[in-house]
Amino acid sequence: MSTDQAQDIASRYWHIVGTAIALSSEWGGTYRITTSDNTYLLKIAPSHLSEERISLEVAVVKHLSSSLKTLKCSQLISSLDGEDLVQTEFGAARMYSWIEGRLWANLRPHDANLLESLGQSLGELSNALTGFDHPGAHDEFEWALESSLWKDGLNSLPDELRTLCEHYLMRYENGLKQKLSSLRQGVNYHDANDYNILVSDDIINPSIVGFIDYGDCHYGPLVNDLAICLAYALMDQTDVLGASRIIACGFHRTFPVLTEELEVLQDLICIRLVISLCNAARRKAKDPSNAYWQVSTTDAERLLRTLHDIHPYLMLSSFRSACGLEASPHHDKLCDWLKKHRAQFSPILGFDLSKESVTVFDWSVGSTELGGLNELQDLEEQTHQSFRRMKSEGTRVGIGRYDEPRPIYTTLEYQVPGLHTPSMRSIHLGIDLIMPAGTPVYAPLAGKVVTLTNNAGDKEYGPLVILEHKTDDGLTFYTLYGHNNIYTLSLLKLGQEVQAGEKIAEIGTYPENGNWVPHLHFQIITDLLGYIDDYPGVADPDARAIWLSLCPDPNLILGIQHPDLKYHYADATGLLRKRNKVLGSNLSLSYQQPLHIVRGWKTHLYDEYGRTYLDIVNNIAHVGHEHPRVVSAGQKQMAVLNTNTRYLHRQLVALSQKLLETLPSHLEVVWFVNSGSEANELALRIARTYTGSQETLVLEEGYHGNTQTCIDVSHYKFKHYKGEVANFAKATQVVPMSMYGQVANLPEQKVRVGEVANFAEAMDSTDYRLPITISPSMVFIHESLPSCAGQIVPHKDFFMDIYAEIKKRGGVCIADEVQTGLGRVGSHYWAFELYTIAPDIVTIGKPLGNGHPIAAVACTREMANAFAKGPEFFSSFGGNPVSCAIASEVLTVIDDENLQAHAKEMGDYWMSSLRSLQSEHPVIGNVRGHGLFIGIEFIEPETRVAAKQKAEYIVKRMLDHRILTSLDGPQGNVMKIKPPMTITREEVDLFLGVMEKVLKEDMMKGELA
C-alpha cells in the first residue's frame, strides 16, 4: 500500500488529514500520519493474520491504557463510525495516538542507568499485563516457543549454526518444555526488541517511556518477557553477564522473579535467538529484499555463541545475585555442612592451623607492605621479606587473605570484559598458606582427583590439583591446591580416590609454581563451571558477590584464628561523611561519585577494589606515579637524615646546580620551598622588594596558588569575590585573554590571542584603547601556557611585547612554570622558551618532586642581592635533604628516560589524532598545546558558543571507561590533557578510541537520532 493510499484511509475512516510516512514493519503496513496538530499511527493488518490476533492487539492496548502507571501507551482512536477496527480493501486498519520518543536501536550509549530503566519498565509492563487474557493470545504463533513454524528455518541455516540451534531445540524438547509448563503463565508482551522500545528525549539522563507494537502478545511463561528483552538488549554488550544482571535487577525490582524462573532464563534467551535466526532464514528464502527481517541476524548469532560459552551454573548464579539471592544455589547448604564437620577435617599442612600462631600479610591494593608494583617482580626479595617477617614474629605459616583486593594480577589472562571497558580480576578467592618450598600438603577430607595438570606460565597456578568431594547428603563440591612443585604431578593420578590426611602435593617455588613466593593457594569451589585444567583464583570486583558465593571462605576448612584474617572494605559513604565533617566544605572532590584511590603506578591510579584508571590529568606525578627510582631516593635519604637547611648538605647544593643547568645563564640563584604556591609567593616578595612596587600585572584566568598573596594575583580565583572589590585587586591589572569559541566579558575591546599579533602595536594603534595601564616598576607574573584559562597557547609575540613594556618601565617578569616546566612541552625544557623572552624569575612546583612537597624559585643575581638586604628568608623544610634527593632523581629520570623528547613525540601524535577527530566531529572547536600539555575545546558547532554540557558529558563518559579527565577554562568547556610524562602510545590510543566512541553518542549530535 502506498503512502497516498494510507493518507486516503486515514481521511476516509477517521477524518484525519495529514501526510503519511511508511515505517519499517515485519508484516502489513505501518504509517506515521502527521497533521498540523497531531501525529498518529496507522496500522494495516496482513491478510494472513487471524481476526483473533488482530483483536488481541486492540484489546491489549485498551487494557494497558488504564493499567500502566508511569509508562506511556498509545490510545486507540475510534473511527468515524465508532469502530476500533475498520475493514479496508487493504486489510483490517486501526489508528493509534503517537508516542514521542527515540527507538532503542538508534540510541547510544546503552549504559548502566538505561539498562536498569529498561528492566524496571519491562517489569511494570509485566505487572500491568497480569490477569489479562484473550483467545488470540493462545493461537499458534511463529514467534512462540511451542510453534512448529519457526523450525522450518533450521534447514536454511549454515551447517555449524544449524548444529548450534539444534542443540537448544533438543534442550527444549528434552526437559525444558516440561519445566516451562510448571512455571507461572500469562500473557506476555513478547516483543521487547530494539525497535519496540521507546526512550525519552532527555539525552543526558534518558529513560524508558514506553513500548510499542502489541501485535505479538502471547500466552506462556511469565519470565519469557525478560528472556526476550535480554535476547535483544545484550546483542551490543561486551559484558553479557554484567549487562544481563543490571536488566534483571531492574525487572526483579518491579516484577519479582521466582527462583525456578531464573533456572530456565539462559535457555529461554538462547531459544529466542534461535527462533529469530530461523525466522530470518526462512523469510530470507521467501523474500530476500526485505531488510527488516535480517536486521539483527549477525548480532543474534554472535550473542548465541557467547551465551553458549557461558556455563549455565555461572549465569544462574549471576541472575540469582541480581535478584538479591545468594548467587550459588549450593553455597548456604555447603557452608552449613563445612561448619558442622570442620572438627573432623585433617590438617592440610599436617598440623592444626586453628591452634597455630600465624602471620597475616596485607597484600591489598593500598597496602604499604607490598611497596611499589615494581618490587613485586623481585621474587627473591619478596620471598626473603615474607619469611624474614614470619621468623621475626615466631610463626611458621604466613597467610594471604580471602576476599582481598590485590594489585598483583597484571597479565592479560586476568582481564575480563566490562560494561564499558575491560576490567582486571583482583579479588582473591582462596587463602594463601606461605610455607617453604617442599612442604607437604594433605587432603583435608576424602575425595577424587578431577584435575592434575601443570598450569604453566607467568602468574599461573603451576602444578595444580583439584579434588572432588561429596557430602553425606549427596552435595558435590571441590577443593583446589595451586602453586605446587613438579613432583606433585607424580604423586597422584587423574581419577584417583584419596583419603583424608593423604599427601597430595608439595609446595613449589618460582618459577615452577607460576612465579610466586612459595605458598599454597587453597580454594573451595561449589561448581567447576566446565573448567578442566584451570579455575579462576581471582574475580572481577564488579562480580565479587557472585564469585565469593561460588567459592566460599576456605577458612571453613582451615579454621585459622587471627583478628586480621578478614579484609575490611572501606565504607565509601561513611568515609565521605567523615571527610565532610572534618574538612572544609570548599575542598572539592572530583566526580559526583568520588573515587576511593589507594595506589598509583606509572600513568594509572587504582581504587580500593583494584580497578585501574588511566590518569590523563595529573601533571604533578611528572615522571609517573610512584616511580621506583624516585621512591627509592627518598627512602634512602629519609633513613639517614631529614632536617632544615641551616646545615651544610651536598644534596641541596647538587640539586641547585643541576636545576640551574637547565635554565638560562642569567638565572643564577635558587631557593627551595614546599609548593608551587610558596614558590610564587616568594617570587612576588623578591620582585616587589626589588622594584619597591605592589603593582602587579596578571593574565585573565591566571592561577598561581592558594596563599593569600597568590590568590591576590590569580584572576581565576579573585574574580569570584562577591561585592566590593578587595583591596588587592586595586593594585592588580588584568591582561584580557580569550580563546577559540569564548570571549571574556570585558567593557573594552579585547586583546584576542592569535588575532592581535603584536601587543605593542595594538597599544599604539589609534583605534584601540588598552583596558589596562602598565605602571612603572610593575611586576608581571604569568603562566607561559595559561592552564586554568583553558590550556591557552598565546601568539608567539604576545609575551615578548608585554615583557618589553614591563622592562621599559623598570618592572620584573615572573614565569610560572609550575604546570608546564621540566620538559612537558616537548620542544623545550621550559614553556617560556617557546617565546623570545627572558624571565627575571622562574617558579617551579611539585612536579619537581613528582608530587613530593618541593618547589623552587630561580632568579638573577641582582634580584637575589636586593632581596638579601631585607629580612632573612627561611623555609623550615624547603630544600631538606629528602626533598632534594627526590627532586634530583626526578631530573635524572627525565634525562635518562628521554622524557622531554617522548613528550614531543606523544604530544605531536596526540594532537594530530585529535585534529583528525575534529574534522569529523565539529563539537571539537579547537585543539591546542605543546607536548603533553594539550587543550580540547568543545563548542556548539552552529553557534560557536561553549558546549559546557557536552564537555561535562564527555568527562563522565570517559570516567565510565576508567579514564580520568577534567575541564577548565572560563566556561568549563576545555578538557585539559596533562598526564604523567611516561604515558605510552598504547595509552594515548586507548584515550583516542574512547573519545571517538563518545563523540558518536547521541549527546554529541546536533539533533536527536
Count of residues making up the chain: 1009
Answer with the residue of higher pLDDT: 748 or 684.
684
CA-closest candidate to residue 132, choices 44, 222, 194: 222
- Give dist(CA 714, CA 777) in Å, integer: 19
Is the Cβ–Cβ distance between 512 and 462 less than 8 Å? Answer: yes
Inform me whether the pLDDT recorded for 294 exceeds 90: no
**Quick one: which of 67, 65, 216, 61 has its CA closest to 137?**
216
Confidence class for position 729, pLDDT limits 50, 70, 90? low
For 876-908, write each residue's pLDDT tens digit: 888 899 999 999 999 999 999 999 999 999 999
Output the average pLDDT for the chain: 90
Dist CA 636 CA 630 (whole Å): 10
- pTM for this entry: 0.91
pLDDT of residue 292: 52
pLDDT of residue 371: 86
Q: Which of 192-206, 764-778, 786-800 has the lowest mean pLDDT?
A: 764-778
What is the DSSP code (8-state) at residue 794? Answer: -
At which residue does the C-alpha cell 563518545 appear?
Answer: 998
- pLDDT of 762 > 50? The answer is no
Rounded distance between C-alpha atoms, residue 316 and residue 263, angstroms: 6
pLDDT tens by residue, 938-996? 999 888 888 999 999 999 999 999 999 999 988 899 999 999 999 999 999 999 999 99
Question: Where in 268-397 does DSSP place strands (E)?
Answer: 359-361
Q: Which helix (H) or strand (E) holds 523?
A: strand 520-525
- The answer to whether the beta carbons of residues 234 and 192 sit under 8 Å apart is no
Determine phi and psi for 352, rounding to 5 degrees.
-75, 110
CA 628 to chain CA mean position, Å? 27
- List, in order, residues 6 or more apart from 333 with CB less than 8 Å away: 475
**DSSP letter (8 states) at residue 176:** I
Question: How confident is the model at residue 565, as a pLDDT?
Answer: 96
Per-residue pLDDT at 598: 92
Q: How many Å apart are CA 410 and CA 370, to the nearest integer?
A: 15
pLDDT tens digits along 504-554 = 999 999 999 999 999 999 999 999 999 999 999 999 999 999 999 999 999
* The three grid cell numbers given for residue 142, joined into one nine-digit string: 511463529
Distance, in Å, from the CA atom of 890 to the CA atom of 810, rounded to the nearest integer, reads 36
Residue pair 525/476 in contact by the 8 Å Cβ criterion: no
Strand, helix or coil for residue 168: helix
Q: What is the pLDDT of residues 103-153, one digit of tens each?
A: 999 899 999 999 999 999 999 999 999 999 999 999 888 888 888 778 888
The x, y and z cell numbers of residue 10, run together, are 486515514
